[in-house]
Amino acid sequence: IFSLVTRWSEDPWTLGSYTSGELGCSEADRSVYSSPLPAPSANPGSSPASPRVHFAGEATVSLSEAYQCTHGAFWSGVHRASDILRACQLDRFIPPERRIVDYLIGRLPPQEPSHPMKRQICRTSAAAQASKEESVSQSAPSLLQVTLLYRHGERTPVHTFPLDPYKQLFRPYGSEQLLEEGVRQHFELGKYLRRRYWSLLPRRFNVTRMHVRSTDTDRTIMSAQANLAGLFPEQCSAAVDGAAQLPACYPVPIHTVPKPTDQLLKMSSPCPAYTRHWREFKLRPDGPYASAGRRFTWLSERARVGTGWRQGEPLGISELWKIADPIAVWRSLGLKLPDWVDRDVIAGLEELRHLKFAWKFSEPKLYGSRIGALMARLIGDMEARLAGRSNKILQVYSAHDSTVSAFLSAFGVFNNLQPPLAACAMLELYSDGEVRLFYRNATTTTNSSLSADPPLPMLIPFCQKPCLLSQLAKQMRKREIPCPVRATSLVQLQLVFRHGIRNPIRMPPNDPYAGRYNATLGQLTPAGAKQMRDLGHFVRTYYAEQRVLPERYDPNVMWAYSTDTDRTLASCQAFLLGLFRNQSPGTNLSRNGSSVASAGTPIPIHSGPKKSDVLKPT
């Protein structure tokens, strides 16, 4: 941070007096005030880092005895720079004024500063900051985890109609594809998030502590890529390795699942429960959907002529939503509108677009069946992080306006307006268990600073402030309405894996490491056991969305088999330990019926004689 402080129009420290000199001001004093303040060195004892804060008042840099040395702008600058630091670090830092004051006093002559203003500020600032630092260090909770859910950026239209004047314009891009403006929107959002969460997030993406998930749609995947480029700028420093040049941005893994099975983020994925409730909502004779259909008959008639809609085909509310899509894109990109799209048509289509999201997730049984799976995932992730079972600090979900709408509806804070492009919901978990929700829904600026488009704090109506995770989890679990398992869902899982790292099976006569293994030839090593536990945890995580695996071992629906070899039996034990962390697996050898019990509830691992074992080719 480089802060250049000059003259201020209003200076609370000098009460408007810029002409009075300071008695007893020496050249040594002036050199102190005209010097930049160096940043603290990373290594104690080493030379300071390059200057981070520099104050330049009118008289502070003068060596003439005729001018005062402590210009009022200097002290205003100390507090102004402190405000900047505090804003950038989200109020979760040790304020710097005491360090600045101590540094200055340490460089002055031993006697106490002579100027009354300087003496007062040195005393009060140092004392106040000492008290504040102690309070902050003892009471301020730290940020443990951030979950981001955002809508994609500007895209080409999803729908079109016969008299669409811009069909050819968008044809090279393809339907519903991210545009350059959408890339910019998310790159700026990423830079904003970097500034907001710089103290939590490292400079580079860490796959063990972060996870990015997107719907299986081009525009959401590309939006996530652009966002991550702004969020992790050091991923985008081009590197050259010999003749081969790496990509401008080093890739970050973005996970997806097929659209029909995406119950987490894709609000249009098959869900019989939602389909039934939504149909009931639309068919209510005196309901809002039917009422709007009657109220917007005029708009249907205007749109039928203007769009060239085929005669005889219905043109109701659902069709008007499709017509509103390309027109919204044209307006966003500043394209000339057809003559039939006048102010009344624009107002009517915009109202209908907002009503679509207000209706679709207006009731618990509507948003619960759509967003319930995601809420269960988020609550589980936060509980694991707070309990120390997870080290994840960042969860990113790149999705759609419908996803953001359902998410905010589940929290009871949705404003019934379609989330704009690159809108972002931020869910923060703190070390004291508090959960805070913010929503950034203004994305028209190109400025990614913290002061541009600040997020709105969302007060969750059913969770008393401070909203603790335990209270939030209890309320959210009441809102989940799981979709029943469909015929296309995963119904059976078969896993075949090799054992983990082992010791050598046999050794040559002159093996220099013979004494290291002794009687442990062919046995699973501790590193191998860790491999298998990690594999079990990976399988648990990978298949979490399909919900095919129960939380605890169930002998009625699962079975474990191993060859009759120590290292494979031990590997299976370690794998099950990672798969079912709440239980510790034991062994049950079918050959003799014996079992080896361990702490927790044992999980049987079956095996057979080596000579007749179909898993043992030799």
Q: Evaluate whether 560 touches 603 at the Cβ level (below 8 Å).
A: yes
Alpha helix ranges (H) inside 232-316: 272-283, 288-295, 297-307
- In terms of phi and psi (left: phi > 0; alpha: psi -120 to 50; beta: otherwise), the region of 520 is alpha
Alpha helix ranges (H) inside 411-525: 469-477, 514-517
DSSP code of residue 132: H
> Which amino acid, 329?
V
Q: How far apart are CA 406 and CA 361, in angstroms?
A: 6
Of 72, 2, 88, 65, give the one whose Cα is nearest residue 37: 2
Determine which one of 152, 186, 211, 499 is catalytic: 152
The answer to whether residue 401 is catalytic is yes
Phi and psi (nearest 5°) for 503? -75, 165
Of 220, 223, 327, give the one whose Cα is nearest residue 268: 220
Helix (H, G, I), strand (E, B) or coil at 30: helix
DSSP code of residue 259: G
The answer to whether residue 216 is catalytic is no
Q: How far apart are CA 58 and CA 7, in angstroms?
A: 7
Q: Evaluate whether 193 touches 224 at the Cβ level (below 8 Å).
A: no
Q: How many CA atoms lie within 13 A of 415 on its CB side?
A: 12
Determine which one of 11, 29, 164, 401 is catalytic: 401
Q: How far apart are CA 304 and CA 40, in angstroms?
A: 68
Q: Between the CA of residue 352 and those of 62, 151, 280, 441, what are the distances in Å? A: 66, 20, 19, 19
Write out the catalytic residue numbers.
Answer: 152, 401
